[in-house]
Amino acid sequence: MARSSLEDMPVLPLAESFALTAAYNADSFPDKVNLGQGVYRDENSRPWVLPSVRSAEERLHKQNLNHEYLPITGHSPFNQKARQLIFGRELANHQNIRTIQTVAGTGANHLAALFCARYVRPKNVFISDPSWDNHYSIWETAGPDITQKLYPYYDAVARSFNFEGTMAELEDSAEENDIVVLHPCAHNPTGHDPTHDQWRKIAEIVGRKRLFVVFDSAYQGFASGDPDADAWAIRNFYSTFFGYSSPLSKNPPAGMLVCQSLSKNFGLYGERIGALHLITHPSVSAEGAYSHLIRLVRSEISCPALFGARIVDTIWSDSELRTHWEKDVKTMALRIQGVRVALKSELEKINTKGDWSHITRQIGMFSYTGLSKSQVQLLREVHHVYMLDNGRMSMSGLNGKNIGYVARAIKDVIGQAQ
């Protein structure tokens, strides 16, 4: 009898963030701190249901709605609202933007990678170094024949965005039709974003070399507290290459994809709500490409989930609820900004070795602390403070009760490493 190849399959390790959460949950130490999981927590380290979301839930409950299947493309009112959120009301009406509902941001990224592998057919995909770890896995799974190349996003010495390194890599290595994965705001894991001028220069090289951009928008509104400000890069790229007025590029890229998660900014983690937006040049019909996206969704999930889509639509369809949601988003963003200031202040107050100004120069949920893997392991083993091995800290896990403890723990492991 032929031997099954399944017998030789090795046991793969659990994804680091999930393994870290499991280890944290199993830890009985009373003062343990979880700085690994990328979810919002309130000042008491508890999950926070946005008040605007709770109000929307109550309204939906009173309507005695059914639970029928959605169309393959998703909940049409949700798609419209998601498009308005990411592109603004004026651009969202353009017919060269087509939207399909996805299983959160991960599903949007996976669908984007599948689409690009089958129909764009690039030689290379450029992913920032470092990036959200799932970017590498998604592109390996969806496009195994596409070469992954890393552009040097982070300057470890200056602890800032490596603009020169990024531009040089794209200039030297990117070929026409290659994919570039970009984070429009709150870069994960570094928390460092390009300036507007730098974004314009990135757009220039994208247009000149005719590259295909995939934006991954996971933190719109959550980053700065202003959803419009956090969408600036996406809207600028759209207006530059694909707007109905004459594009600046005479020979623009073939298209662009925008992956949109609504997990963080609506607190709908478990509802797995997201969208993928396909943008084509106004002179080209989007129908053909859009139909292929629809077929990919049909073969994978048939149709997406309904409840989260109804919540987003309910909030964005009511001016009072939308205003309340904007206040909720700002509440989350301001709390994260506040703990950044508090942690930096505490580290400096106790004379922790090093310059900690990068903590407040970063934006969004994460801080790329600069701690080494061995220091992170010491934090976990000695102090029960959990963060990813690369030193990425989820700022949401900090609060007034544990910032002092975490700062002292960081100072201790830095001292032990000397």
- Written as one letter, the residue type at 213 is V
Say how far apart CA 263 and CA 83 lie, in whole Å. Answer: 15
- Residue with the larger pLDDT of the pair 176 and 4: 176
> Hey, what domains does the chain have and what are their CATH numbers?
13-49+330-417 (3.90.1150.10), 69-317 (3.40.640.10)
pLDDT at 283 over 80: no
Q: What are phi and psi of 215, to 5 degrees?
A: -85, 135
**Token output for 56:** 């929307």
Note the pTM of the prediction, 2 decimals: 0.94
Question: What are the beta bridge partners of residue 365?
Answer: none
Please, which pLDDT band fits residue 248 given cuts at 50, 70 and 90? low
Q: Which ranges constitute the DSSP H helices of 116-254? A: 133-142, 163-173, 196-209, 227-230, 232-241
Burial of 304 (0-12, 13-18, 19+ CB in 10 A): buried
- What pLDDT was estimated at residue 414? 93
Say how far apart CA 260 and CA 257 lie, in whole Å. Answer: 10
pLDDT 10s digits, 342-379: 999 999 999 999 999 999 999 999 999 999 999 999 99
Burial of 152 (0-12, 13-18, 19+ CB in 10 A): middle
- What pLDDT was estimated at residue 7? 77
Question: Which residues are part of the catalytic machinery?
Answer: 132, 216, 264
pLDDT 10s digits, 309-341: 999 999 999 999 999 999 999 999 999 999 999
- Written as one letter, the residue type at 416 is Q
Q: Are 252 and 242 spatial neighbours (Cβ–Cβ below 8 Å)?
A: yes
The mean pLDDT of the chain is 93
What is the sign of the dihedral through the CA atoms of 273, 299, 214 and 161? Answer: positive
